[in-house]
A = this chain, B = another copy of it.
Amino acid sequence: MTLLRLDPDRALPADPSLRPLARRLYKTTCDLPLICMHGHVDVATLAEDRPFANPAELLVMPDHYVTRMLASQGVGLDQLGLTRRDGRPRHDGGAVETDPRAVWRLFCNGWRLFRGTPSRYWLEQELVEILGVDLRPSAETADEIYDAIAAKLAEADFQPRRLLDRFRIELLATTDSASCDLADHHRLRSEGFGDRVVPTFRPDALVHLTTSDWVNQVRRLGASADIETDSYDGYLDALRRQRETFVAAGALASDHGHLAVDTTLLPHATAAAIFRDARAGKVDVASANAFAGHMLHVMAEMSCDDGLVMQVHPGVLRDYDSDVHRTFGSDNGFDIPVAIEFTRALRPVLDRFGHDPRLRLVLFTVDESTYSRELAPLAGAYPAVKLGAPWWYLDSPDGMRRFRELVTETAGFYNTSGFVDDTRAFLSIPARHDLARRIDAGYLARLVAEHRLEEDEAVETAIDLAYRIPLDSYRRPHVPLEP
């Protein structure tokens, strides 16, 4: 049985002319509070503040990075305990796995699959730093580690709200369906967490007309906003009202997942007609796409009014695998990127609001070819545009390094958004922020060592990237840091 260790210099550059410098820079940011402007932690976790159930439900099942990798080697999602919606037997004839220890064993047995991945990096830090595990996961050690974690989870210190303190999370934005009633957020606010845990307005299910649940979602929107949504005008009014409700609940941003980022505005009558057709269940794909692009533009208009920062996450074919989607539902790791175009697609919105101080557009991509070609030039020219942190498949050591290398020379540091952890795995938040700070320290160290930046500037930039820039990007006022 091999020991699990965390080296204090992990993810810093190995080059001896860079490492001591990177270490000094990292030391200036490692203890700063965490600003989590975009994540997918379920708000109920914090509202209910219940202890975590067991190691598998904490670390394996909700993390599609982990389940996807195991699936890629032939482990069935049902073997990992993911709920089937169809009641069919497992592919090997058995029942869906309900024993969390069995799920945990599969995970530990597959530990070598994660070599070189950020999941491995995050999990290692979670196991050692948060859970006190010092054994490398394997078939042999699975049970011992399971028991150790289970014991930890029973401690009072491990309730979610306590972890919020322990993790030094100053601000956590969750992602919330635009049609929801924000009950959990209201509860958190009433219990004193209103400035610390805020919602994010996500209207995807309301603007993509061909999603199966659309009619129902529009009805829910109407109910939440208390506005009739049978007509396009009512739908717009309800969206506006619901945005106000989110703002009142502390929301700083909206979040938009689109396949493309077309922002062509349709004539009002055309949009209304497409809406009507969709209500009647007879919308075609082209009209649905045009409507989605139109609504992205409309959301920019609304943002100019209510100040919500727009986050755009495009370029991913969601629910790519028909069978996985049908059987297990969305967000199971089978969303696959496609090439994406920003320059032409964003022109309608940028031509209207690109210099408007009321609009703030944070652009994310999983297509790295757009970093230097489109996103850095746009963020480096338009005050309304910020370049979002490396997202999803790219929030990894080398992915984040490439991001800085590909965008900084055109966009600088101050047109980027700051780090976004984008995780469903609550325990991974500190490791993700810590890793980003290490990678930025390494990049800045190189600039200093190559005499392209002075060390005092690098220190200021490192702190800005870790703390001030994310707050500024999302227009959250902040008090000056202690020196």
Contact = CB atoms under 8 A, between A and B. Distances in A.
A250 to B, nearest CB: 26
A398 B410 CA distance: 11
Contacts of A374: 336-338
A6 B451 CA distance: 8
Interface in A98-156: 112-118, 120-121, 136
Given A116-B413, A379-B72, A446-B14, A367 B357 contact: no
Interface stretch (A182-190, A239-247, A341-349, A474-482): A341-349
A328 interface: no
A363 B112 CA distance: 23
Contact of A454 (B2, B338, B351): B2
A355 to B, nearest CB: 7
Interface in A396-414: 396-399, 402, 404-406, 408-414
B317 A343 contact: yes
Q: Which of A333, A334, A381 gathers most chain B CB within 10 Å?
A: A381
A143 B396 CA distance: 44
Given A383-B73, A414-B113, A446-B14, A399 B409 contact: yes
Interface stretch (A80-88, A276-284, A319-327): A319-327
A10 interface: yes
Contact of A15 (B14, B72, B351, B456): B14
B116 A72 contact: no
B115 A457 contact: yes
A9 interface: yes
A372 B351 contact: no
B451 A9 contact: yes
A106 to B, nearest CB: 14
Contacts of A11: 450-452
Contacts of A354: 321
Contacts of A380: 68-69, 72
B344 A378 contact: no
Nearest to A75: B383
A373 interface: yes
A369 B379 contact: no
A450 B409 contact: no
Contacts of A449: 14
A72 B383 contact: yes
A341 B339 contact: yes
A225 interface: no
A12 interface: yes
A95 interface: no
Interface in A245-292: none
Contacts of A343: 317, 320, 336-338
A417 to B, nearest CB: 13
Given A368-B369, A381-B68, A408 B338 contact: no
Contacts of A120: 452
Nearest to A91: B355
B336 A378 contact: yes
Interface in A169-226: none
Contact of A337 (B68, B113, B373): B373
A58 interface: no
B72 A451 contact: no
Contacts of A450: 10-14, 397
Contacts of A394: 372
**5 cross-chain pairs, A with B, having the tightest CB-CB distances, nearest first:** A14-B449, A7-B451, A10-B451, A396-B409, A116-B408
Given A71-B355, A115-B461, A116-B413, 20 more contacts: A9-B451, A11-B450, A11-B452, A14-B446, A16-B17, A72-B382, A72-B415, A73-B414, A74-B355, A112-B460, A113-B412, A114-B412, A117-B408, A323-B355, A336-B374, A336-B381, A338-B344, A338-B374, A372-B394, A399-B409
